[in-house]
Structure 1
Amino acid sequence: MSPSTPIFCPTGALRASINVGNPILACLNETGDAVGVSVDLANAFAAELGLPLELHVFKSAGESVAAVSNGEADFGFFAIDPLRAEQLAFTEPYVLIEGCYLVRDDSPLDDNAQVDMPGIEVVVGKGSAYDLHLTRELKHATIVRSATSPTVVDTFMASGANVAAGVKQQLEFDATRFPGLRLLPGRFMQIRQAMGVPHAYGKEAAERLRQFVERAKAGGFVAEALERHGIVGATVAD
């Protein structure tokens, strides 16, 4: 353990905030344990620091961010966003994924630019990166918030809203559960997934985390984790 290690673990163990609401990064397996790319990265970081790891698992991005911001966890895995950056110091992204729109087959919408219109209701996962992004960007459409990202399409179907917004892979999976749905072409945003630590932990902690992410990308760890967990459609960030 290096002299700088305690900046990450005021409780004696390294506490990682894991969001299982984004299946690209983590999910619960058959026994209820969190698994995925972010869990692998958390274990590798704890091993590098020589610390025991505690996983604090949450069902939504908003809860995961709040846990780190409020001191319930020491670091986490989040999409980079200006609002979150007020509380968290982000590394460079390690994975890039796409935010897309889903509509019914009979919807008149066929282009992302058509979504921001009066009378259009867009369902998002509360506190997600695309919720924060669309809250800033949409000027005319109305945002409807589902409790978590995995429940967006269920809320979309039950509410009669016009559009569901989310991570492309989650929407593609949900489209197999409900007939008569289609993705609009392209994406409305690129979601840059990074690791983050509270600003209160200081610049040394942020730099240590940044260096870890850069090594994980350059050494092939992130690419291998994506392959190991069968993740398609996500790319390792440069």
Structure 2
Amino acid sequence: MSWAMRGLGWLLALGLSACTGLSQAPNAPSGSSLPPVASLVVTDQARQALAPTGSLRVGVYPGSPTSLVQNASGQRAGVALELGQFMGQQLGVPVQVVEFSRVAEIIDAIQRGQVDMTFTNASPARARQVTFTRPLVQLELGLLLPANSAVMRFAQIDRAGVRVGVSQGSSSQAALGQQLKLAQAVPVASLDVAQKMLRDGQLDAFATNKGILFEMREKLPDFKVSDDRWGLENLAIAVPQGRDAGRAFLAALADEVTRSGRLAAMAERAGLRGLAKPE
């Protein structure tokens, strides 16, 4: 059994431990084709709070399996994408997928009330900006490095002259700023830009969660993902603050997708790797 599959098994086990007694629902090939789950009670107040325009606006950004990618079958996939489709179906409203260049733009749009939900790292800083469910996925943070790099572990990266790329406005940018003393953290506008800068030698490494790093490595075969981790991300469903009438539904939704195995199936379809090993 591969490490990735063991990680998905742990993800399913995490959901089982959080079960709140919702009825078992069958898995299906896509979140958008699943029937409504009878035990997910939706009040008019919850629907109005979570989809105030009559549609559920789902924020995604390309290049991350936790958000939006094109999978091995050539289909659009991603945990945020499928969670949004499933959530809209359970609410009984149409889904509008809104694409951004990077996650920081989605958080800003949620704060402005232009996006209704996404799936992202529930960092303390973001928890002051948006409302999160409990964490549903835990990912390791790592480095993407040239294959010939002398750096093997994060502890070796903090040297003068070393340029470490991070997504502009990301939680990784804030975390690295606290950990690096000599190396320079370089904010990058998008993952596509980061890949070009790595190819051109303008960056010595790129730091983010390993789900993104393994996805980037598919396009950068001469690079490697570090074996160690320099931190963890705890990903959760995010919605704008002030939508308290939808909290009970969101909590039940989070429990349903983990307990039933739907979330693990979404992660597998997106090719999500880098799940934290249980301790």
TM-score of the aligned structures, taking structure 2 as reference length: 0.73
Matches of 1:48 and 1:126 in 2, distance apart? Answer: 34
Q: 1:202-213 counterparts in 2 under 5 A?
A: 202=244, 204-213=245-254
Of structures 1 and 2, the one scoring higher in RCO (CA 8 A, sep 6+) is 2
1:41-120 correspondence runs (5 A)? 41-120=83-162
Q: Is the 8 A contact 2:167 2:188 kept in 1?
A: yes
Identity rate, percent: 26
Deviation sequence 1:147-169 (CA, Å, 0-9, x none): 11343232133243322213324
8 Å CA contact 1:150, 1:170 repeated in 2: no
Are residues 173 and 48 of structure 1, via their aligned partners in 2, closer, same or farther at CA, if it must alter by over 3 Å?
Answer: closer
Q: How does 1:220-235 map onto structure 2 within 5 Å?
A: 220-234=261-275
The 5 Å alignment of 1:167-182 reads 167-175=209-217, 177-178=219-220, 180-182=222-224
Gaps of 5+ in 1: none
CA 1:170 to 1:114, structure 2 compared with 1: closer, same or farther past 3 Å? same
Report deviation, 1:16.
1.5
**TM-score of the aligned structures, taking structure 1 as reference length:** 0.85
Number of matched residues?
235
**Higher share in strand:** 1
Partner Cα separation in structure 1 for residue 268 and residue 226 of structure 2: 27
Q: What RMSD in Å do the two structures reach over aligned CA positions?
A: 2.8
**Aligned residue among 33, 40, 43 for 1:2:** 43
Give me the whole-angstrom Cα distance separating, in 1, the residues matched to 2:94 and 2:221. 46
Could you say which residue in structure 2 is the equivalent of 1:121? 163
Matched, 1:184 2:212: no
Mapped partners of 1:190, 1:144: distance in 2: 20
Q: CA deviation at 1:122?
A: 0.6
Contact 1:126 1:146 in 2 (8 A): yes
Aligned to 2:178: 136
